[in-house]
């Protein structure tokens, strides 16, 4: 089971993205637990996740996120605008899996 947190500004667009990634994972019979939250909640979940996917419009907080992860084994992934803007769950899942390698 892969535990993933998606963050955007408020949690709204990442909620749709998370739902589409869940559908893509279900189609591949994969177990992925995905939560969507606003960026202010990252610290609350950092101990429970394997990966943190960040909305492309939040690229500017990537340095701060490294401080939150504090050396924990959390893979931080900046989502790509080409699938985030269209909420393409299949492409997002492929990106996630390629990063988790």
Rounded Cα gap, residues 60 and 47, in angstroms: 23
Question: Which of 13-17, 63-67, 75-79, 91-95 bottoms out in mean pLDDT, i.e. has the lowest?
Answer: 63-67
Determine the average pLDDT of the residues in 75-99: 97
Q: What is the mean pLDDT of the chain?
A: 93
Rounded Cα gap, residues 27 and 91, in angstroms: 13
**Residues contacting residue 50 through CB under 8 Å, at least 6 positions apart:** 2, 3, 4, 73, 74, 75, 100
Q: What percent of the chain has pLDDT over 90?
A: 75
Hey, where are the domains in the chain?
1-98
* Length of the chain counted residue by residue: 101
Tens digits of residue pLDDT in 44-79: 999 999 999 999 999 999 988 888 887 888 999 999
Which pTM value belongs to this model? 0.93
Helix/strand/coil for 10:
coil
Burial of 16 (0-12, 13-18, 19+ CB in 10 A): middle
Considering the four listed CATH numbers 3.40.190.10, 3.30.360.10, 3.20.20.70, 3.40.50.2300, the one that applies to the domain covering 1-98 is 3.40.50.2300
């Amino acid at each position: 089971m892969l535990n993933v947190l998606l963050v955007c500004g408020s949690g709204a667009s990442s909620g749709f993205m998370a739902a589409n990634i869940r559908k893509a994972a279900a189609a591949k019979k994969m177990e992925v637990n995905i939560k969507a939250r606003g960026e202010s909640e990252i610290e609350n979940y950092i101990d429970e996740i394997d990966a943190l996917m960040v909305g492309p419009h939040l690229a500017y907080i990537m340095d701060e996120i490294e401080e939150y992860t504090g050396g924990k084994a959390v893979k931080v992934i900046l989502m790509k605008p080409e699938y985030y803007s269209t909420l393409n769950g299949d492409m997002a899942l492929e990106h996630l899996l390629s990063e988790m390698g």
